Every structure is written in C-alpha cells, then in structure tokens.
Chains A and B, each alone.
Chain A
Amino acid sequence: MTRKVNTLFIANRGEIAVRIIRAAKELRLKTVQAHSVADTESLAVKLADVAVNIGSPAASKSYLNVEAVVAAAVASGADAVHPGYGFLAENARFAEAVEAAGLIFVGPTPHQIRMMGDKVSALEAAIAAGVPTVPGSRGRVETPEDAAKVVELTGFPVMIKASAGGGGRGIRVANSRDEFDRLMPQASAEALAAFGDGGLYIEKFVASARHVEVQVLGDGYDVVHFFERECSLQRRRQKVWEEAPAAMLPEDVRARLCQSAVNLAKAVNYRGAGTIEYLYDETTRDFYFLEMNTRIQVEHPVTEMITGFDLVREMIRIAMGERLRMRQSDIVMRGHAIECRINAEDPAKGFMPAPGTIESLTIPGGAGVRFDTLLYQGYTVPPFYDSLLGKLIVWDENRDAALDRMQRALKELTIGGLKTTKPLHLALAADPDVRAARFDTQFLEAWLEHRAAMLEDH
C-alpha cells in the first residue's frame, strides 16, 4: 500500500539532516527541520522549507525528547518522520509514538528495532538465519565440564569474560588448554570480587579482526544488498575512516558475506536501510556477526559512490510504501570509495574537542569528490553535540587512485577558525600500511601512540 507523503519532518541535526533534506527535495517533498535553541543558525535550518524549535541545547531536552519531537512533528502537519542516525533513530518507543500519532516512521518497524537492538535476540535471529556468530558458550558457563566442552568447539585462543563485566574489564585470553585451566578459576574469583558475580562466559578470540559491514535495503518483503564497507580504522570504538569495498576480501567470501546479510534481513522481513556488522578474520577467512544497525549509517556515502544509488532517497520511497526499485542484479559495484570523518577535534592534543567559529572554508571539488557537511563560512559550531563537521568522500577507479585523490582533496580542504582531524587523515592517506590495506581494528590506536607529534595542524 502506498501512502502519499507531502511533508517530511527531520528529527535530527548536523550533516545527516542536510543529507536528508537534499534527498527529500529531490522527491519534491516539503521539509520541516526540528532544531534546538543552539541550532537556530544551522545549515539544515537554512536549507529546510520550515524550521521548528523543539527545545533547549541539551539533547536530552530536544533531540532525545520523544514527546517534544512527536508533538512538533504532528503540529507541523508532516506525514513522515526521518530519524537520521544517533539520537532517536534506534529507539523503538519513538518509532511507536510516531506511528501512534498517525505518521510514517522512515525506518524499520518498532518490533524490528527492538529485536536487533537487544544483543540476545539479535544473536538468536542471526543464528536462526544461519549467519555465522563468534563460537562460544552463548551464555554463562556453570561448571568446569561445560567449559571444557565449549573450548573443544572453539579451539584456542579463547576469551574468558565476566558475565557482569563490561568495557573490556574482566577479560582474559587463554592460548592453550593448560593456560585455560589455570585462568578459569582466577577469572571466576576475580569476577566475584570485582562484580559480586563469578559468572563467566567463553568466546573464541579473534586476535586480528577487521570490521566489515554489509548495506541492505528491504521493503518488508524483499531485501537487496549493496556490498560491503570496511571500517577497521577506529579510535575508541569510533570509526574514523571507511572504505567500500573491503580491499582484502576474496570474491567468494564477499559473496557469502553479502548473502548472509540478505538472509538475516529477509528472515525478519526487514523494512528500510540497515547494516549488518561483522568481524572478519583475515587468516582463516571466517566472518562473524556482531550486530545489525537499523538505520542509515554515517558512512553510507562510500556505498553510494561505488553503486550509484541514493540510499537516503530510497529509504524515503520505501517508507512511502513503494516496493524496492532495483533487483540484486541491478546493483553492481565499480571502483573504490573512501570516507574521512572531519571532526572538530585537535589530534595533536589527544583529540580534545574544538568547537568554534568557521572563519574561512574551502570545500574541495573536482571529479569523484563529495563533501557532506554542516558547515558554512561564519557558522559557529555549538559545543553540545558530537564533533563531526563533515565527511570527505572520494571515488576513483581503484583503491590506489582513490588514496591519491583523497590526499589531493584533503589538501584542498581548509577549515579556518578551529582545529580539525584533517592532519590525521593526511598522515593516514600517506601511511605505507594504510596504502597497503594492512590494518585491523587495533591498528589506529597503536599507530597514534607513536605519531601524536606529526599531527600538528599547519
């Protein structure tokens, strides 16, 4: 059933709000931009047809306030709400409230958000769909006999984790059976002392993992994939640099990886844009399900660059009740794309946030270059939200050419008035390991330890 949509309400801010407004305008929709008091002068507010103030600067009182956002959407006369990424994008209660108010939520059903948002139910869905998951105990190990059975299955090395732990605390790695037998009682005693709960679980340890993820679109019936991205270059679990496709992925693994993502999304009748994230072990060529993100992602443009589709526009069409407009055979990837996240942070000073006023701005151009940003000259970047200023994206025929093009585009980009992560990206684009695609999820943090000095902004 198609539903007529005339007006789209954008329940987000920053560069993704600008991105959504552009897609909506191309679909001839009227756009209503929600904004906090701190975002009155934002680019999204300037570009939208109408702007609505939804509250104080603190996100908890504006962009995260379900009642205020839904009330503003209803009052604006909008037919549909796009949540972007972050904020309320994966909040099932918000999606429910939007639907209960008679509006369309541009994204999956509240049930799908809830299922994939819960680690246990997401893992169960993945297993049911035949998607590989990290071998392990899948829950608490109660006895030494059970533990022995689990490690026979996983092999070594294995990770022993405290059930009650978190953020890397209470984790031990055992490389052999002897070591495992020695570490288990220690780990249990330590977990009991630290968390008041000696419960442990066991998981295969992937020593050098790469982060790969598959983009899918579903219409509630069919699902297609748009190949994979690699996002291994991370700092504090935040992606810094993303590519499409994953340079090191053998063709047969790519086919199985993408098919597994389609299988999972199909099994839940997925609706909208989604990303299935995996760990990839280059040495064994095994991939393991991590999680599914039920929204558009920051790094979606690299996928758009290699496939030629506009994912944000397609997700709006799907929300309006249209069926998928492409078959899998219509989606072909060509060349290589890279995205660098340009943040208002000072890489020479431990990535200290650096809000401020944009005194000058040169946006790079030329063939194969795209800059998705919230900036304009004279704009004052508020301190209340995340530090993403823009995403510099390049496409070229192959990865080497894309790296050269990225270096050229980074040099063209100038943002005067505040510190940015541009020097980090210039150094990465010239690094021999990055150029050879020799990295894993641990690479960047180790790399940064030795190079803080060379990241001064000039």
Chain B
Amino acid sequence: MATKDILSPLPGTFYRKPSPDAAPYKNEGDVVKKGDVIGLIEVMKSFHEVQSDADGTIASFVAENEEPVMAGQPLITLNI
C-alpha cells in the first residue's frame, strides 16, 4: 500500500487536540478525507488548523502532541 506524509505548513508547536481537555482530532487507524482537520500548529501565539491534503487512513503520528516542528516536517503518515 502506498503511503503519504502530511507535512506541517508552518514552523511552530504541533497539537493533536483543539484544547488541552478535548479529545484528539484523529487517532491512528482513523479514516481521513482531504480537508479534514488533523491538528493545530501554534506559531507566535496564534493557532492554525492543519488539514489533510489527501484521503486515506492514519498509519502513524510522526510528530507527538506539543512537539516543536519545522515547516515541511512530516506530522502524520497516511496509508492511501
């Protein structure tokens, strides 16, 4: 099966949840559609949604919750 990485569009801090007490947007094994929100990037105190740019199933999270990431760094690997 082919895989595809969802890359961080911005440098910053990656969050898997919309707020600290909320459930994660997505978990391993979840089916995602293009345009689904898979996480947030906090950059300079502002929050930006990260959307999937493909349809697929989440194989693994490459970046952990609250992990510092660079622009272009893989966040999630999808099976497509």
A associates with B? yes
- For window 39-77 of B, CB contacts with A under 8 Å fall at 42-46, 66, 68
Residues of B within 8 Å of A387, CB to CB, are 44-45
Main secondary structure, interface of B, reads: strand
**Which one of A38, A57, A58, A353 lies within 8 Å of B44 (CB-CB)?**
A353
- Please tell me if the beta carbons of A353 and B68 are within 8 angstroms of each other in the complex: no
0/1 interface trace, chain A 142-170, chain B, CB 8 Å (1 if under): 00000000000000000000000000000
Residue B18, interface by CB 8 Å: no
Given A57-B13, A383-B11, A384-B13: A355 and B66 interface contact (C-beta under 8 Å): no
- Please tell me if the beta carbons of B43 and A353 are within 8 angstroms of each other in the complex: yes
- Give the CA-CA distance A58 to B15 in the complex, in Å: 12
Residue A386, interface by CB 8 Å: yes
- Please tell me if the beta carbons of B13 and A355 are within 8 angstroms of each other in the complex: no
Residue A195, interface by CB 8 Å: no
0/1 interface trace, chain A 359-389, chain B, CB 8 Å (1 if under): 0000000000000000000000001111100
Nearest chain B CB to A224's CB is how many angstroms away?
A: 34
- Give the CA-CA distance A344 to B45 in the complex, in Å: 12
Residues of A within 8 Å of B10, CB to CB, are 353, 383
- Please tell me if the beta carbons of B11 and A58 are within 8 angstroms of each other in the complex: no
- For window 1-21 of B, CB contacts with A under 8 Å fall at 10-13
Main secondary structure, interface of A, reads: loop
Residues of B within 8 Å of A345, CB to CB, are 44
Nearest chain A CB to B42's CB is how many angstroms away?
A: 8
Residues of A within 8 Å of B44, CB to CB, are 344-345, 353, 355, 383-387
- Please tell me if the beta carbons of A57 and B45 are within 8 angstroms of each other in the complex: no
0/1 interface trace, chain A 378-416, chain B, CB 8 Å (1 if under): 000001111100000000000000000000000000000
Nearest chain A CB to B29's CB is how many angstroms away?
A: 28
Nearest chain B CB to A235's CB is how many angstroms away?
A: 12
- Please tell me if the beta carbons of B43 and A38 are within 8 angstroms of each other in the complex: no
Nearest chain A CB to B46's CB is how many angstroms away?
A: 6
Residues of B within 8 Å of A383, CB to CB, are 10-13, 43-44
- Give the CA-CA distance A123 to B44 in the complex, in Å: 32
- Please tell me if the beta carbons of B66 and A384 are within 8 angstroms of each other in the complex: no
Residues of B within 8 Å of A386, CB to CB, are 44-45
| Given contact pairs A344-B44, A355-B11, A383-B13, a sample of 10 additional A-B residue pairs in the complex whose CB atoms are under 8 Å apart | A56-B68, A58-B68, A353-B45, A353-B46, A355-B44, A383-B43, A383-B44, A384-B42, A385-B44, A387-B44
B interface residues (Cβ-Cβ under 8 A, vs A): 10-13, 42-46, 66, 68
A-B CB proximity, top 7 nearest: A353-B44, A383-B11, A387-B44, A383-B12, A383-B43, A353-B43, A57-B68
